Chains A and B, each alone.
Chain A
């Protein structure tokens, strides 16, 4: 046997196990991904409430927004107005400088939506609060604010058809719900400064506003996280969406690349051998 041939055999003896190890790793990854794809397809045909373990990524999603767009970390929305009319369509509140106003008797409604565009259920919470400031400094003064929250189907979540819920200053009120995959929920938030019942306080606030600005900031916070049961239902299913195909999505590009690399590894190994 020639010297070159002996050296070649020696190299092959050292390098071959390395290639085999790499081939094994790639092969295991490919098997895992294949199982995930298989589980995803099978899961759609299983009866409801069947426990299914998914090996592929899930695709959760949750957004809150209104007709102007999706909320970010801190989004300015249009809850208040610079003028209001009464039941007889007469303007009873009018800003002198275009600022948004609130006054005794003003009642306004704000519509927003929670949307789950993903393929698994989300548990969410809406928290309502407001803060008051006098002349730019935070104030703990009492403020007679009332709220009412309802769904698009007319169900009241806070307050009822005849009354609003008082929301004290520096307090919060929260609502917890569940949104199923590809589902949404529309809410109508109503805010009112009661016209009757607090005349002295109302007058003091109104007169105080002639000396320093009395500002009110209203906040609607939304928090969401994946639900423990990805198949849980909630909200209204987006029209045109198929029933849940949850379990995640495969990146076919990655999958194809991995298969190709595995085949290349196999070819190298065989060639070296």
Chain B
């Protein structure tokens, strides 16, 4: 019994001594460390619609798509399709809608080509009529639910200058007028 007890004590002491040496040797091992910090983000949406159709950033259209009678409401039937004459009028609406996640601005650049000086007048508010269209420059278009609307009206006054009207109507080569509108939408920094 005494012998076993002695050997047990001896074993404990030996283990304790060995553990101490292990503790020393272990801490000489090379220390390395690695960690990572990361984060995600989604690209913000660019969602612009012009007259309910998606556009990238610019769109060009013809103002004379719809030609009305003198009352500016009824579609003209006394004049051949695609032609204008004294008394005809028309309107075109530019509707912008933004569902983007960034703020934007829009511009409308009008180009009126009227080499024969056809007496067509334009208005964006229905009261002030001019021979030309003033460009719209950098108007704000709010993000998420931003909207903007421009209605461009035109008319050839029926009781204007009869001599001029007649001359244009009887010209050998029919005079033409073209109006283009380029709508540009850009993100705001």
A-side interface residues toward B, CB under 8 Å? 11, 15, 18-19, 22, 25-26, 29, 32-33, 36, 55-66, 70-80, 86, 90-96, 99-105, 112, 122, 195, 202-203, 205-210, 213-226, 248, 251, 254, 257-258, 261, 264-265, 268
With A99-B42, A206-B45 known to touch, is A105 a contact of B189 (CB < 8 Å)? yes
Query: Which of A93, A202, A208, A217 makes the CB contact (< 8 A) with B38?
Result: A217
Give the distance in Å from the alpha carbon of A207 to the alpha carbon of B103 in the complex.
14
Q: Is the CB of A214 within 8 A of B42?
A: yes
A189 to chain B, nearest CB (A): 10
Give the distance in Å from the alpha carbon of A36 to the alpha carbon of B105 in the complex.
73
Residues of A within 8 A of B101 (CB): 93-96, 101, 103
Residues of A within 8 A of B188 (CB): 86, 92
- Name 17 A/B residue pairs within 8 A (Cβ), A-sorted: A22-B10, A22-B13, A26-B13, A26-B16, A63-B35, A71-B35, A77-B37, A93-B101, A95-B42, A203-B56, A213-B42, A215-B41, A216-B42, A217-B38, A217-B40, A248-B27, A264-B13
B154 to chain A, nearest CB (A): 32
Residues of B within 8 A of A210 (CB): 45-47, 54, 99
Residues of A within 8 A of B6 (CB): 15, 268
Tell me which of B18-26, B112-120, B123-131 binds A: B18-26
A123 to chain B, nearest CB (A): 10
Q: Interface on chain B toward A: helix, strand, loop, or mixed SS?
A: mixed
With A33-B20, A261-B13 known to touch, is A102 a contact of B43 (CB < 8 Å)? yes
With A73-B34, A90-B103, A206-B46 known to touch, is A261 a contact of B41 (CB < 8 Å)? no
Chain A: CB-nearest residue to B16: A261
With A22-B10, A92-B103, A103-B101 known to touch, is A225 a contact of B32 (CB < 8 Å)? yes
With A26-B17, A222-B34, A258-B16 known to touch, is A203 a contact of B41 (CB < 8 Å)? no
B16 to chain A, nearest CB (A): 6
Give the distance in Å from the alpha carbon of A61 to the alpha carbon of B33 in the complex.
8
Chain A: CB-nearest residue to B21: A29
Q: Is the CB of B17 within 8 A of A203?
A: no
Q: Is the CB of A71 within 8 A of B36?
A: yes
Q: Is the CB of B46 within 8 A of A254?
A: no
Q: Is the CB of A18 within 8 A of B10?
A: yes
B121 to chain A, nearest CB (A): 36
B-side interface residues toward A, CB under 8 Å? 3, 6, 9-10, 13-14, 16-18, 20-21, 23-24, 26-28, 30-47, 54, 56-57, 99-103, 143-144, 187-189
Q: Interface on chain A toward B: helix, strand, loop, or mixed SS?
A: mixed
Chain A: CB-nearest residue to B14: A22
Residues of A within 8 A of B17 (CB): 22, 25-26, 29, 258, 261
Chain A: CB-nearest residue to B56: A203
With A15-B6, A57-B24, A64-B35 known to touch, is A103 a contact of B40 (CB < 8 Å)? no
Q: Is the CB of B20 within 8 A of A219?
A: no
Q: Is the CB of A63 within 8 A of B33?
A: yes
Chain A: CB-nearest residue to B47: A210
**Given contacts A102-B42, A221-B35, A226-B30, could you give 20 more A-B pairs where the C-beta distance is less than 8 Å?**
A22-B13, A26-B13, A57-B23, A60-B31, A74-B36, A79-B37, A80-B39, A80-B41, A92-B103, A100-B41, A101-B41, A101-B101, A105-B189, A203-B46, A205-B46, A206-B187, A209-B44, A219-B37, A222-B33, A223-B32
